[in-house]
Amino acid sequence: MNSTADFGSRSPPKGTSSILPRLAWGGVAAMFVVTGFWDLANQHRVVAQSTADTNVAAIVGPPCPTLSRADFDSRLKLQGKLPWVFEFNGDTYGRYFGYADCSVSESQGGLGVGSYNVCQFTSPATLDVKTARGEFYFMPGVGHKATVMTEGGVAKCVMAAPAEANLTG
């Protein structure tokens, strides 16, 4: 006795009904990939323009005097807390006086998409900079310009701020 039993194994249907879901999922995946590359290219363009505008190579000066945590705390006791505190791209900056202007600059190496903060100050007196890598204290003094760069999460300060040449504080 020969009989065939159907155990649910049928050949896939022919035609467009089996291809349409695959095309739809492929289109969705392609949209995410294209959107990701578009966003990455736009971010790279914005950082490149900011790097050109900031001109980090022109920010040359002696290093800012640094303070220890204990020295910074004693200044806070004498002068009070820093009245001007702001956050820029995840880093926090505090100062006693003057104006601040921040931008970003391209990190060297990597895929060319990394950046770091560059903040220029007109007359900060004392600077408190908090990054993911720690807290840094500088004392450029009243009437002195300063620039803080946070490449690699480490704050470095120089006694120059070319972008702030026409501002007074």
The confidence score (pLDDT) of residue 104 equals 86
Under a CB-based contact definition with an 8 Å cutoff, are residues 128 and 93 in contact? yes
In the chain, domain spans: 56-164
Instruction: Compute mean pLDDT per 10 residues along the chain, 169 residues long, and list them.
Output: 59 64 80 75 64 73 94 90 93 94 78 79 94 95 92 93 59
The confidence score (pLDDT) of residue 167 equals 46
Cα(74)–Cα(79) distance, integer angstroms: 9
The confidence score (pLDDT) of residue 56 equals 75
The confidence score (pLDDT) of residue 12 equals 56
pTM of the model: 0.68
Cα(122)–Cα(146) distance, integer angstroms: 7
Residue 145, both tokens = 């310009």
The confidence score (pLDDT) of residue 41 equals 65
